[in-house]
């Protein structure tokens, strides 16, 4: 490589790293927030939506590059989308999910925890699905 090409590649790599690091940190923060108890868990929406926005910007930045460089941003986009859809389902079925989590939190024995499985197995309309 000639000297100007090498400098351009180094500048591109720095810019790519500068755009990639916040995305990874936001997805990690969103993933950690998913383990919070239920009302607080919805805090994960913010970092995950920001991660999606920044990933789309990163993909636009990489639009002229080869497909190999776009693999990880696309995987990040898929992971963020799955986490966001999981949160959306928890919003939609908040009462059932909340009841199940309260039951499991209050269960002190494995038998009591097994009784909570009835709440977990309840379908969308509250009917037990097997």
- pLDDT per residue, tens digit, the chain (130 aa), is 678 888 888 888 888 888 889 999 999 999 999 999 888 999 999 999 999 999 999 999 888 877 788 889 999 999 999 999 999 998 988 888 888 888 888 888 888 888 888 877 775 555 555 5
| Rounded CA separation 35/50 (Å) | 19
Helix (H) and strand (E) counts in the chain: 7, 0
Backbone angles phi, psi at 108, to 5 degrees: -105, -10
Cβ atoms of 100 and 47 closer than 8 Å: no
Closest CA to 101 of 89, 113, 109: 113
Q: Give pTM, 2 decimals.
A: 0.80
């Amino acid at each position: 490589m000639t000297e100007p090409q090498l400098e351009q590649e180094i500048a591109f790599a720095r810019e790519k790293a500068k755009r990639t690091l916040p995305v990874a940190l936001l997805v990690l923060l969103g993933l950690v927030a998913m383990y919070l108890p239920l009302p607080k868990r919805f805090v994960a929406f913010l970092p995950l939506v920001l991660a999606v926005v920044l990933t789309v910007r990163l993909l636009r930045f990489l639009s002229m590059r080869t497909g190999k460089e776009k693999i990880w941003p696309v995987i990040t986009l898929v992971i963020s989308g799955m986490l966001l859809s999981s949160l959306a389902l928890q919003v939609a079925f908040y009462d059932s999910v909340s009841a199940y989590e309260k039951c499991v939190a209050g269960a002190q024995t494995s038998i009591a925890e097994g009784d909570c499985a009835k709440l977990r197995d309840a379908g969308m309309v509250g009917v037990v699905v097997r």
